[in-house]
Protein backbone atom coordinates (compact mmCIF):
# COMPACT_ATOMS: atom_id res chain seq x y z
CA UNK A 1 0.00 0.00 0.00
CA UNK A 2 2.74 2.37 1.04
CA UNK A 3 4.71 1.31 -2.05
CA UNK A 4 1.82 2.21 -4.35
CA UNK A 5 1.33 5.53 -2.55
CA UNK A 6 5.00 6.31 -3.08
CA UNK A 7 4.72 5.41 -6.77
CA UNK A 8 1.73 7.67 -7.19
CA UNK A 9 3.37 10.54 -5.36
CA UNK A 10 6.51 10.09 -7.52
CA UNK A 11 4.42 9.91 -10.66
CA UNK A 12 2.63 13.18 -9.99
CA UNK A 13 5.50 15.56 -10.84
CA UNK A 14 6.25 13.62 -14.02
CA UNK A 15 2.56 13.62 -14.99
CA UNK A 16 2.22 17.33 -14.25
CA UNK A 17 5.37 18.10 -16.24
CA UNK A 18 4.12 16.00 -19.16
CA UNK A 19 0.73 17.72 -19.15
CA UNK A 20 2.38 21.14 -18.91
CA UNK A 21 4.71 20.29 -21.80
CA UNK A 22 1.79 18.99 -23.87
CA UNK A 23 -0.13 22.14 -23.08
CA UNK A 24 2.81 24.30 -24.09
CA UNK A 25 3.33 22.30 -27.28
CA UNK A 26 -0.36 22.61 -28.04
CA UNK A 27 -0.19 26.35 -27.45
CA UNK A 28 2.86 26.65 -29.71
CA UNK A 29 1.52 24.41 -32.50
CA UNK A 30 -0.15 25.70 -35.64
CA UNK A 31 -3.82 26.62 -35.60
CA UNK A 32 -5.49 23.84 -37.57
CA UNK A 33 -8.89 24.28 -39.21
CA UNK A 34 -10.58 21.37 -40.97
CA UNK A 35 -13.29 23.18 -42.88
CA UNK A 36 -16.76 21.82 -42.13
CA UNK A 37 -20.08 23.08 -43.40
CA UNK A 38 -23.40 22.22 -44.97
CA UNK A 39 -23.86 23.18 -48.59
CA UNK A 40 -27.25 23.51 -50.27
CA UNK A 41 -28.17 22.12 -53.68
CA UNK A 42 -28.41 24.83 -56.36
CA UNK A 43 -31.86 26.08 -57.38
CA UNK A 44 -31.29 25.89 -61.14
CA UNK A 45 -32.52 23.86 -64.08
CA UNK A 46 -29.93 21.14 -64.71
CA UNK A 47 -28.20 20.97 -68.07
CA UNK A 48 -29.24 17.78 -69.93
CA UNK A 49 -25.72 16.39 -70.00
CA UNK A 50 -23.65 13.67 -68.34
CA UNK A 51 -20.59 15.16 -66.74
CA UNK A 52 -17.61 13.12 -65.65
CA UNK A 53 -15.68 14.63 -62.78
CA UNK A 54 -12.19 13.93 -61.52
CA UNK A 55 -10.92 15.21 -58.18
CA UNK A 56 -7.13 14.92 -58.10
CA UNK A 57 -5.31 14.25 -54.82
CA UNK A 58 -4.22 17.89 -54.66
CA UNK A 59 -7.89 18.89 -54.78
CA UNK A 60 -9.53 16.19 -52.63
CA UNK A 61 -6.86 16.60 -49.92
CA UNK A 62 -6.32 20.31 -50.37
CA UNK A 63 -4.55 21.90 -47.44
CA UNK A 64 -3.16 25.38 -46.99
CA UNK A 65 -0.20 25.98 -44.67
CA UNK A 66 0.96 29.42 -43.59
CA UNK A 67 4.06 29.52 -41.42
CA UNK A 68 4.15 32.19 -38.71
CA UNK A 69 6.44 35.13 -39.41
CA UNK A 70 7.04 36.05 -35.77
CA UNK A 71 6.96 34.54 -32.27
CA UNK A 72 3.73 36.37 -31.53
CA UNK A 73 1.80 34.77 -34.37
CA UNK A 74 0.83 31.15 -34.84
CA UNK A 75 1.14 29.14 -38.03
CA UNK A 76 -2.07 28.14 -39.76
CA UNK A 77 -3.21 24.96 -41.49
CA UNK A 78 -6.54 25.21 -43.29
CA UNK A 79 -7.73 21.86 -44.70
CA UNK A 80 -10.45 22.40 -47.30
CA UNK A 81 -10.25 19.10 -49.24
CA UNK A 82 -13.24 17.30 -47.68
CA UNK A 83 -15.42 20.43 -47.88
CA UNK A 84 -14.31 21.04 -51.51
CA UNK A 85 -15.46 17.57 -52.57
CA UNK A 86 -18.69 18.02 -50.60
CA UNK A 87 -19.69 21.33 -52.21
CA UNK A 88 -18.61 20.46 -55.76
CA UNK A 89 -20.48 17.14 -55.60
CA UNK A 90 -23.63 18.92 -54.39
CA UNK A 91 -23.27 21.71 -56.95
CA UNK A 92 -22.50 19.56 -60.00
CA UNK A 93 -25.29 17.10 -59.16
CA UNK A 94 -27.69 20.06 -59.24
CA UNK A 95 -26.22 21.59 -62.41
CA UNK A 96 -26.17 18.47 -64.63
CA UNK A 97 -28.73 15.71 -65.07
CA UNK A 98 -26.06 13.08 -64.52
CA UNK A 99 -22.66 13.19 -62.83
CA UNK A 100 -20.13 10.35 -62.99
CA UNK A 101 -17.08 10.16 -60.72
CA UNK A 102 -14.16 8.86 -62.74
CA UNK A 103 -12.10 6.07 -61.19
CA UNK A 104 -8.92 6.82 -63.11
CA UNK A 105 -7.30 10.12 -63.90
CA UNK A 106 -8.29 11.30 -67.40
CA UNK A 107 -5.50 12.18 -69.77
CA UNK A 108 -5.63 14.32 -72.87
CA UNK A 109 -6.36 12.28 -75.98
CA UNK A 110 -7.71 9.25 -74.10
CA UNK A 111 -11.46 8.66 -74.75
CA UNK A 112 -13.84 8.38 -71.78
CA UNK A 113 -16.99 6.31 -72.20
CA UNK A 114 -20.56 7.35 -71.29
CA UNK A 115 -19.90 11.02 -70.58
CA UNK A 116 -20.42 14.25 -72.54
CA UNK A 117 -17.42 15.93 -70.92
CA UNK A 118 -15.04 15.70 -67.97
CA UNK A 119 -14.46 18.48 -65.47
CA UNK A 120 -11.22 18.64 -63.48
CA UNK A 121 -11.16 21.35 -60.77
CA UNK A 122 -7.94 22.58 -59.15
CA UNK A 123 -7.39 24.94 -56.19
CA UNK A 124 -4.45 27.06 -57.26
CA UNK A 125 -4.21 29.46 -54.34
CA UNK A 126 -5.74 30.22 -50.95
CA UNK A 127 -5.19 33.32 -48.85
CA UNK A 128 -6.63 34.25 -45.48
CA UNK A 129 -6.74 37.33 -43.25
CA UNK A 130 -7.74 37.63 -39.61
CA UNK A 131 -8.48 40.84 -37.65
CA UNK A 132 -4.98 40.72 -36.08
CA UNK A 133 -3.53 41.16 -39.60
CA UNK A 134 -5.92 43.72 -41.03
CA UNK A 135 -7.25 45.69 -38.01
CA UNK A 136 -10.80 45.32 -39.33
CA UNK A 137 -13.26 43.07 -37.57
CA UNK A 138 -13.77 40.52 -40.32
CA UNK A 139 -12.11 37.19 -41.12
CA UNK A 140 -11.50 36.61 -44.83
CA UNK A 141 -10.67 33.70 -47.14
CA UNK A 142 -9.85 34.08 -50.81
CA UNK A 143 -9.40 31.19 -53.24
CA UNK A 144 -8.39 30.87 -56.86
CA UNK A 145 -9.54 27.89 -58.93
CA UNK A 146 -8.62 26.55 -62.33
CA UNK A 147 -10.95 24.28 -64.31
CA UNK A 148 -10.14 21.93 -67.18
CA UNK A 149 -13.03 20.71 -69.30
CA UNK A 150 -12.25 17.79 -71.59
CA UNK A 151 -14.49 16.24 -74.24
CA UNK A 152 -15.45 12.56 -74.18
CA UNK A 153 -12.65 11.95 -76.68
CA UNK A 154 -10.16 13.50 -74.26
CA UNK A 155 -9.54 16.70 -76.20
CA UNK A 156 -9.50 19.95 -74.20
CA UNK A 157 -12.71 21.99 -74.55
CA UNK A 158 -11.93 24.84 -72.19
CA UNK A 159 -9.61 25.96 -69.43
CA UNK A 160 -10.55 28.91 -67.25
CA UNK A 161 -9.88 30.49 -63.88
CA UNK A 162 -12.24 31.67 -61.17
CA UNK A 163 -11.90 33.34 -57.79
CA UNK A 164 -14.04 33.12 -54.69
CA UNK A 165 -14.19 35.16 -51.51
CA UNK A 166 -15.77 34.69 -48.12
CA UNK A 167 -15.81 36.77 -44.99
CA UNK A 168 -17.40 36.62 -41.59
CA UNK A 169 -17.62 39.20 -38.79
CA UNK A 170 -16.00 38.75 -35.40
CA UNK A 171 -18.39 37.21 -32.91
CA UNK A 172 -18.67 37.16 -29.14
CA UNK A 173 -16.81 34.14 -27.68
CA UNK A 174 -15.84 32.99 -31.18
CA UNK A 175 -12.35 31.56 -31.67
CA UNK A 176 -10.11 32.41 -34.63
CA UNK A 177 -10.51 28.82 -35.85
CA UNK A 178 -14.33 28.95 -35.80
CA UNK A 179 -14.31 32.27 -37.64
CA UNK A 180 -11.82 31.06 -40.29
CA UNK A 181 -14.02 27.98 -40.80
CA UNK A 182 -17.08 30.20 -41.33
CA UNK A 183 -15.17 32.43 -43.75
CA UNK A 184 -14.00 29.33 -45.67
CA UNK A 185 -17.59 28.03 -45.86
CA UNK A 186 -18.65 31.43 -47.25
CA UNK A 187 -15.80 31.29 -49.78
CA UNK A 188 -16.87 27.79 -50.87
CA UNK A 189 -20.49 28.94 -51.23
CA UNK A 190 -19.23 31.90 -53.27
CA UNK A 191 -17.20 29.52 -55.47
CA UNK A 192 -20.35 27.49 -56.11
CA UNK A 193 -22.37 30.63 -56.87
CA UNK A 194 -19.69 31.96 -59.23
CA UNK A 195 -19.39 28.64 -61.08
CA UNK A 196 -23.14 28.02 -61.34
CA UNK A 197 -23.93 31.49 -62.68
CA UNK A 198 -20.94 31.85 -65.01
CA UNK A 199 -20.31 28.34 -66.37
CA UNK A 200 -22.31 28.88 -69.56
CA UNK A 201 -20.70 32.31 -70.07
CA UNK A 202 -17.20 30.94 -70.61
CA UNK A 203 -16.85 31.43 -74.41
CA UNK A 204 -15.39 27.98 -75.13
CA UNK A 205 -18.03 26.32 -72.92
CA UNK A 206 -20.75 28.32 -74.72
CA UNK A 207 -19.52 27.00 -78.09
CA UNK A 208 -19.46 23.45 -76.76
CA UNK A 209 -23.01 23.76 -75.31
CA UNK A 210 -24.24 25.03 -78.72
CA UNK A 211 -22.59 22.04 -80.40
CA UNK A 212 -24.41 19.75 -77.96
CA UNK A 213 -27.69 21.53 -78.74
CA UNK A 214 -28.13 22.70 -75.16
CA UNK A 215 -30.11 25.96 -74.89
CA UNK A 216 -28.14 28.64 -73.02
CA UNK A 217 -30.51 30.41 -70.68
CA UNK A 218 -30.16 34.12 -69.98
CA UNK A 219 -29.09 34.57 -66.39
CA UNK A 220 -30.45 37.20 -63.98
CA UNK A 221 -27.17 39.06 -63.59
10 versus 133: smaller Cβ distance to another protein: 133
Neighbours of 23 (CB within 10 A): 10
Backbone angles phi, psi at 194, to 5 degrees: -65, -45
Find the shortest distance in angstroms from Cβ 171 to another protein: 8
> If binding is defined by CB under 8 A, does position 215 make contact with another protein?
no
Site for another protein in 176-205 (CB under 8 A): 189-190, 192-194, 196-197
- Distance in angstroms between the alpha carbons of the first and the last residue of the chain: 79
The secondary structure of 100-153 as a DSSP string is EE-SS---TT---TT-SEEEEEEEEEEEEE-HHHHSSSEEEEEEEEEEEEEETT
Which of 115, 123, 118, 41 has its CA nearest to residue 78? 123
The minimum distance between CB 36 and another protein, in angstroms, equals 16
Residue 163 CB-density burial (10 A; 0-12 exposed, 13-18 middle, 19+ buried): middle
For 164, residues 6+ apart whose C-beta sits below 8 A from its C-beta are: 142, 143, 145, 187, 188, 190, 191, 194
Site membership for another protein, residue 20 (CB under 8 A): no
Residue 137 binding another protein, by CB under 8 A? yes
Residue from the set 34, 49, 130, 138 that interacts with another protein by CB under 8 A: 138
The answer to whether 36 contacts another protein (rule: CB under 8 A) is no
CB of 16 to another protein, least distance (A): 21
Tell whether residue 221 is a contact of another protein (CB under 8 A).
Answer: yes
Q: State in angstroms the smallest separation of the CB of 44 from another protein.
A: 6
3-state helix, strand, coil in the chain (%, to 5): 40, 30, 30
Backbone angles phi, psi at 206, to 5 degrees: -60, -45
Of 48, 161, 171, 215, the one binding another protein (CB under 8 A) is: 171
From residue 38 to residue 77, what is the string marking binding to another protein with x (rule CB under 8 A)?
x-xxxxxx--------------------------------
Q: Which of 167, 176, 177, 206 binds another protein (CB under 8 A)?
A: 167
Binding site for another protein (CB under 8 A): 38, 40-45, 136-138, 167-169, 171, 189-190, 192-194, 196-197, 217-221
Amino acid sequence: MSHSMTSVSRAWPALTATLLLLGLLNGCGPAHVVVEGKFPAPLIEPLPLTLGVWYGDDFANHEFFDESKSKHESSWIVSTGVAQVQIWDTLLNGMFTNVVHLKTQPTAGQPIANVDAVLIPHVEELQYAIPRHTQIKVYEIWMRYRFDLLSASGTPIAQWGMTSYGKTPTGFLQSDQEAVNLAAVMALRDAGANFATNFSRVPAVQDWLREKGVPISSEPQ
